[in-house]
Structure 1
Amino acid sequence: MSRRRTFSIVAALAAIAALVLAGPRPRAAVADSGQLFIYRVNASSDAAAQRLFDRGFDVLENRAGGDLFVLGNAATADKLRTAGFQPAIAEKIETGGWQPPSTRLVPDAAGPAVAPIDETYDGGYRTVRAQYAHLDKVAADHPDLATVVDYGDSYLKTRNAATGYDLKAICLTRRATGDCALTPTAPKPRFLLMTQIHAREIVTGDIAWRFIDHLVANAAGSTAALLNSTEIWVVPIVNPDGVDLVQQGGNRPYLQRKNLDASGSTSCPRPPTGSGQVGVDLNRNSNNHWGGASTSRNKCSEVYPGLNPDSEPETRAIEGLFRKLFADQRGPADTDAAPATTRGAMISMHSFAGMNLFPWGWTNGHSPNDAALRRIAQHMSSLNGYQFGQPGEILYNASGTSDDWSYGELGIASFTIEVASCGRFTPAYSCTGTDFAKNLPVLLYVAGLAKAPYQA
C-alpha cells in the first residue's frame, strides 16, 4: 500500500471519529498543525508557571532549574513571546510513517490485523487491546496468582457500548481466601500502580506491562515473599479512550493527554494540535482542591479540569476502585494526619521529569504526614536517581490530582513517579527497558511498605 493511500486512510478515520463523537465542526479544528516542538521557557516563580497555564499553553511535566517545557507548533513560539516569555527549542518531535492499529473510537471498526496481544505502534508500544489481552493471558496462565477486574467504563463506552473500553485492573498475589476481593477489609495489605492517566505518556504503560511480568516470572523466587504477603494491583491504562487516539498516530503518536469527553468543547482539536485538544484532564478532575493550581477553564487546554470535580466516568471509576481496596484512614481536614497504623500505598506514574513526588501538590504547605512521605521519597530517589520533593518544590503545584486525592481522602501513602524517558517526551521504544530497570526497585520497595508505610 502506498504511503499516500495509508495517510488517506488515517485521515479518513480521524474525520469519522470527529463526526461520530462530537458532531460537525470547522475543518481547521481537526487539521494537523504540522511540526511540533518542545520549547524551554523561564518560569521560575509559581506565578509565572500559572500564567503559562492560564494562557492555555501545553506545559509538560518537566522542569530544569527555573525553566519549564511547553509543547506546541511554530505559532506557539510567537504566542509565548507575546505572553512575555523567551522560548528556545529544546526538542523537535520527530515525524514518522502512518501505521495506525485497530481502534474503538468509532463503531464497527475493523479488528486487529494480528493477535490482539501482539498489536503495537511506534516501534513496540502496546495498544489498549494488547494491554488488556496481556492481563487476560496472565490470569489464564497463572490462576493461582492473578485476577482481572473490570472496574468501570470509559467515557466513550458510557455513551455508546460499541465504542470505548472497559476499565481493567489486575490483582497479583499468592491466592488465599479473601484475596483480591473488592472490599477494604481484605486480609492482606495492598499496593496499587496506575499508569497512562495521561494517555500520551506512553512509556508508563509499558513499565506496567513489564512489572506484571516480572512479578509473575519470579513468583517462586525473588518476588515470592511480596506476593505471599501483599496484593499488588496494577491499572496499566487509566485513560483507554485517550490512548486509542494516541495510537492512531502510528509511528507518530498523537499527543493526546486527556480523555475524549467532548461535551461543551466540540470546537477543540481532535486529533490534538499545537493549539489544544478535546477532553478533560483526568489528573486535574479529582475532588481534592479541584480547579486550583495548574488548571485552566479553557476547555481546549491540556489542563482543563472538567465542568465539576469527579465529572468524568474514568475518575469516578478509579476512585471507586480505590474505595473498594483501601479503608478511609484519616480525617476530613487537610491538617488531619493518617495514623501510623495506616495500610496501603500507591504510585501514579507519569513522564518525563525524572522526579519522585508526594502530597501535597495543590499547595507548597506540607501535609501532616510529610516527614514519613519525604523519608520514603528520599529512599525512592536513592534507588532510581531522581529528584524528590513536593510538586511545588521541584516541578509546579497541581490541584485535583490522583495522589492528592488518594492520600487526602483515604490516607494511604501516595506518590507520583515522573520517569525520565531518556530525556525525551516521546522516546524510542528501546528506552522503556532503561526506565523499567531504574524504577523496578522503587516499585518493589513501595509495594513492600504497604502493611505500614508511615512506620518505614
Structure 2
Amino acid sequence: MDRYISRPGDTVLRIAERFGMEAEALYAANPHVSRTRHLAAGSELLVSRQAVPGVFGAEARIVRGNAEYGPRQLSADIDRLRHFYPFLQAGVIGQSVMGKPIGALRIGYGKRRLHVNASFHANEWITSLVLMMFLEDYCRAVSQRTPIRGCDPRELMGRTQLWLVPMVNPDGVELAQEGVAPAHPFGGDLIRWNRYSDRFFRWKANVRGVDLNDQFPAHWEEECARRAAEGPGPRDYSGEAPLSEPEAAALAALTIRQSFDMVIALHTQGQEIYWNYRDCEPAGAGELADRLGRASGYHPVKLHGSDAGYKDWFIQRFRKPGFTVECGVGVNPLPLLQADDIYDDIAPLLLEAMLRV
C-alpha cells in the first residue's frame, strides 16, 4: 500500500477512481475516514495503485480493440465505465428480438441534444468499438479536467447532451461474429436465409433477416420496391412493415421522446458523409456536412435514390440535421487493425458535431 495526502476538492470517490480502487476497499484500508464527513485537504490515506484508465498509460484503458467487439464486451465496458465515471448515465431503451438489452448512454447536461448510434448493420460492429473508445476518452477528460483534442470537456458537458446507442443490432452482431450455436432458436431459418452457409461474417441484418436501416417510415414502400428482396436474408430485406423490428422501433421511440437536435449514424465503409434527404434537410445542413468533412477528412456526399434509413426518417420528420457517416475503407467487416485509424477520423468529427449542434 502507498500513502496519499488528499488535496483540496478530493473526495473518497475521486481518490478511489484515481487509483483504480473500489470505494469500499478504500474505506476498509482507512477506517479513520468517515463516510459522512467531508474529506479535509491534507488527510493521509492508504491507497493501492491499480490500473486506472488514463493514469498509468494507454494499455490500462477499459475499451480495447484487441478482439471482435460484441454485446458481451459492450455490456462489460458500460459497467466498468459507469463504475469509474459516475456522471455517465446509462439505461435500456428496448430489447432485441432475442431479448438482449439495447443500451443507451448519456453524458452532459446542456440544452442541445446530439444522438450518435452504431452497429445498425451486424458486420459493421467496429463502429461500436470506435464509439465506445470516444466515450471513454471523453469521460476521462471530464474526470481529469484535461482537454480532449483541444476541446474543453467541461464546456462541452455544459453545452451538449450526448446520447449514444452503441449497438443497435446486438443479435446481428453476435451472429456475424459467432455464427449459429446448436440451440439457436432461429438456427434453421438463419442457415437457409444465409444460402445454406454457416459463415455469417457478411451478415448485415438482424436475427430475423431484416435490414434495420431499411425499417423507417420514410418512403419505405419505395425502398422495398427498389431492394426487391424476396424475404429475410443477410441484407436488403425491409421487413413486413416500417418499424416491425423491436430494435428499429426502440430507436425511433427514443428519438421521438428526446427530440434530438442532430443525429449521426455510424456505418462502414467509404469515408463519406451523407447529409440530405429529398430536400427535407434544413438550411445549413450542407455547410454542417462540410465542417464534419474537414474535421474527419471524409467526403460529404449529396445522396439520391435511397429511402427508409434512420437518417432519412429523422430529417423528414424533424427537419433537423441528420448524417450517415461511412467509416473506414475496404470490405465489411473491416479489420480490427483499422479501429485506431477510424477513431482518429471520427473523434474530431464527433467533437465538431457537439460544438455545432
Give yes or no for TM over 0.5. Answer: yes
User: 2:354 & 2:265 partners in 1: Cα distance?
Assistant: 13
Q: In the alignment, what sits opposite 2:242?
A: 309
Instruction: Point out where structure 1 has 5 or more consecutive residues left out of the alignment.
Output: 1-116, 158-164, 174-178, 180-186, 255-259, 327-342, 451-456
Q: In the alignment, what sits opposite 1:42?
A: none
Residues 167 and 372 from structure 1, CA distance in 2 versus in 1: closer, same or farther, beyond 3 angstroms? same
User: 1:407 & 1:443 partners in 2: Cα distance?
Assistant: 19
User: 2:190 & 2:129 partners in 1: Cα distance?
Assistant: 31
How much does 1:151 deviate? 0.6
Q: Is the partner of 1:234 in helix, strand or coil? A: strand
How much does 1:286 deviate? 0.8
Residues 310 and 146 from structure 1, CA distance in 2 versus in 1: closer, same or farther, beyond 3 angstroms? same
Q: In the alignment, what sits opposite 2:341?
A: 434
Q: Give the letter aligned to residue 298 of structure 2.
A: Y
Note the 1:109-258 alignment, pairs <5 A. Answer: 124-143=67-86, 145-157=87-99, 165-173=100-108, 179=109, 188-219=111-142, 220-222=145-147, 223-248=153-178
Alpha-carbon contact 1:265-1:299 (below 8 Å) kept:
no
User: 2:188 & 2:68 partners in 1: Cα distance?
Assistant: 30
Matched, 1:388 2:300: yes
How much does 1:141 deviate? 1.7
> Greater helix percent: which structure?
2
How much does 1:439 deviate? 1.5
User: 2:230 & 2:216 partners in 1: Cα distance?
Assistant: 18
User: 1:368 & 1:241 partners in 2: Cα distance?
Assistant: 32
How much does 1:428 deviate? 2.8
2:210 aligned to which of 269, 280, 296: 280
Identity level (%): 22
Aligned residue pairs total: 277
Q: Is the partner of 2:352 in helix, strand or coil? A: helix
Instruction: Point out where structure 2 has 5 or more consecutive residues left out of the alignment.
Output: 1-61, 148-152
How much does 1:426 deviate? 3.0
Alpha-carbon contact 1:354-1:419 (below 8 Å) kept:
yes
With normalisation by structure 1, the TM-score equals: 0.56
Q: Deviations over 1:388-439 (max 9, x none)?
A: 12222xxxx2211001111222233110100124x34333312100010012
Computing the radius of gyration from Cα coordinates, the structure with the larger value is: 2
Q: Deviations over 1:347-387 (max 9, x none)?
A: 00000111011121xxxx43352x41111111111122222
CA RMSD, 1 decimal: 2.8
Q: Deviations over 1:166-205 (max 9, x none)?
A: 11011112xxxxx5xxxxxxx6211111000101012211
Alpha-carbon contact 2:116-2:264 (below 8 Å) kept:
yes
Q: In the alignment, what sits opposite 1:419?
A: 327
1:407 aligned to which of 315, 318, 322: 315
Q: Is the partner of 1:435 in helix, strand or coil? A: helix
User: 2:255 & 2:300 partners in 1: Cα distance?
Assistant: 25
User: 2:273 & 2:132 partners in 1: Cα distance?
Assistant: 20
Q: Is the partner of 2:120 in helix, strand or coil? A: coil
With normalisation by structure 2, the TM-score equals: 0.71
Residues 372 and 299 from structure 1, CA distance in 2 versus in 1: closer, same or farther, beyond 3 angstroms? same
Residues 261 and 352 from structure 1, CA distance in 2 versus in 1: closer, same or farther, beyond 3 angstroms? farther
2:193 aligned to which of 241, 250, 268: 268
Stretches (4+) displaced over 3 A = 117-120, 260-267, 270-278
1:346 aligned to which of 263, 273, 286: 263
